[in-house]
Amino acid sequence: MRAPITVQFSRPLAIAALAVTSAVCGAAPAAAHTVKPGTPAAAHPVKPGTPAPGKPTPGPPRAGAARKEPPANMSTAGGEQLGRPGPQTGAGAPALPPDLSALSWMVSDADTGQVLAASNAHWPLPPASTLKMLFADAVLPAVPGTASHKVEPAELTGMGDGSSAVGIVPGQTYQGADLWRGVFLRSGNDAVHVLASMNGGVAKTVADMQAKADGLGAKDTQVRSPDGYDAEGQVSSAYDLTLFLRSGLTNKDFKEYCSTADAMFPGGPNTKGKPFGISNTNRMLSGIDGVSKYPGLIGGKNGYTTHAGNTLAEAATRDGHTVLVTVMNPQENRRDKVYAETRALLDWGFKAIAAHAPSIGTLDLAKPSSSSKSPGTAAASTDSSGSLGVLGWTGVGAAAVVGVGAVYVVLKRRPVRGRRRG
């Protein structure tokens, strides 16, 4: 498969061009479009050296990577077994997949709320762009897809160096749905910052996200930025990210956006107003760059930064059951490793449900888990249940990518690599 065209930009030129761009760009509203069969997907513009989604730089371990041992006293929210270090399953559960290298992971039944297996589920780690799920949980109700907004240059300031971007053009008017597709498909920090402005500003949005996390019982999460870009003290956990995905899937818009593999994004001056197609950076959903699509995948959110490594949360459905898997920071430095481990854990989850494997905890914190009543061992049988019969397969929506005005444009046939992104 031909690699998507990548539009790169020079950050200094882009910043210098903001004022000029806002003066010359039109303000006509941009409408959503449907991707035509065979339409090439154009990737988002990024600073040269920014890593392609899910692609750590080959070579020695990353500088500033998280320590390799979990904290001594992890939370036991959802069940006592979830606070233990290392892999945890119930008695009689199928054998776990081999070669799991992630610092933290968790497998859950979305419908019952049962946690089927985990490793260091409550280890607070940098979440990268998987934190955008919490951003959507908190902001989608306030900024729906029907909203319309003209972007001001100031709204695109304050993004971290090397941030991923969908290509928002100052002075142009966007529909909320376009911006949300920019968040979910291209992990665009520029789209996040515009939506945060529409929500009352970055500071308010961070506070809203923290309040939402607290309300869901996600006590491992500390929010410092709305887009997941590395920030001092910003952490989440496999348990909390699973809560964010499960909560999001109860919102039809969240579910549509996270399940959209390909879409169109409104064009700007650089494209003479013509929309451009993009593919979702979640490669298990889009099937790009050597990763095959996962059967029955609903979707979720992927992320990568130098400090966080690769992170991924996915939901998939099979035989009337929905499994959630979250994987944080695989240690094998292979660009598709996070997808390989997530795929193996999804397969394991469906096998465990078919085998009626006992749970080791619950996502429904208001309901007691028997795993919190009896310590047992890693193989001890536990039982917990909840209810959320709201998940299942969803259709794809529309979304997209565009060129940016007043920037240095370079067309490439391969994604770029580098050190950090949101």
Active site residues: 129, 132, 187
Q: What are the distances in angstroms from CA 235 to CA 131, 166, 365?
A: 9, 24, 20
Per the structure block, which two tokens stand in for 344?
């193996």
From CA 228, how far away is CA 133, in angstroms rounded? 10
C-alpha closest to that of 195 among 159, 235, 249, 244? 159
Would you tell me how many other CB atoms lie within 10 Å of the CB of residue 296? 17
80-91 as b/e, with b when 16 or more CB fall inside 10 Å? bbbbbbeebbbe
Helix-helix angle 238-248:202-216, to 10 degrees? 100
C-alpha closest to that of 337 among 358, 369, 311, 372? 311
Classify residue 409 by its DSSP letter: -
- Taking the CA atoms of the chain, what radius of gyration do you get in angstroms? 21
The pair phi, psi for residue 157, each rounded to 5°, is -90, 160
Q: What is the largest CA-CA distance in the chain?
A: 67
Q: Which residues 6+ apart lie within 8 Å of 239 measured at CB?
A: 75, 77, 78, 82, 106, 115, 118, 121, 122, 218, 220, 326
Task: For Cα atoms 137, 46, 167, give the angle at the middle one, nearest 5 degrees.
Answer: 60
From CA 111, how far away is CA 124, in angstroms rounded? 25
Supply the DSSP string of 243-272, one letter for each residue. HHHHHHTTSHHHHHHHT--EEEE---GGGT
From CA 321, how far away is CA 327, in angstroms rounded? 20
The pair phi, psi for residue 87, each rounded to 5°, is -65, 135
From CA 32, how far away is CA 256, in angstroms rounded? 14
The pair phi, psi for residue 400, each rounded to 5°, is 170, -175
